[in-house]
Amino acid sequence: MIPMSQAMLVEIQQEAATTRRVLERVPENKLAWRPHQKSMTLGQLALHTAGVPGGIAKISQADEFDASQANFGVKQPESLGEIFAAHDESVRGAEDCLKALTQEKANATWRLKMGTKEVLAIPRAALLRSIMLNHWYHHRGQLSVYLRLLDVPLPSIYGPSADENPFA
């Protein structure tokens, strides 16, 4: 395994545990709640957050992705079990992707297209770093805001939250 993917694999495993702690705080009876009419529901956001790493790992396997052919709508989950299963599957997919990544494939250009128009062309390693990981953290942050609005105690993410101190 190449050093970059080894480091990202460790990060995936650490961040998966943190994401799981946040997902465990999602109240099942509030899955349909949304903070604004334009926002995803709590359940949709939790399911999307759970699935980001595996979804991006999957599209990274090809040399290009045509977004005009994609359905970016997030379904409404029926239960927390569905969200946890999606998270576990997603993390496994991301881990498998990183374990199989060669230096040649990591350096190869990956393209995002919208039909025939090229929107983005970056090394696959940059896709995995910026979209698979950073995008995941972005949505986990959104999820923590949803939970705060619902007055759900937040777990420690990178240090103490107002509700939990891992150093105490």
User: What pLDDT, in 10s, does the model give residues 61-78?
Assistant: 999 999 999 888 899 999
Ordered domains of the chain (ranges, CATH): 3-149 (1.20.120.450)
**Tokens 């903070």 sit on residue:** 35
For 109, the enclosing helix (H) or strand (E) is strand 109-114
- In eight-state DSSP terms, residue 41 is P
CA distance 156 to 85: 22
Place of tokens 């374990």: 99
pLDDT for the residue numbered 71: 86
- Is the whole-model pTM more than 0.85? yes
pLDDT of residue 5: 87
Band (pLDDT 50/70/90 cuts) for residue 3 is confident
Structure-block tokens of residue 124: 């696959």
Q: Average pLDDT, stretch 86-113?
A: 96
Mean pLDDT of 133-148: 97
* Residues 90 and 50 sit within 8 Å (Cβ to Cβ): yes
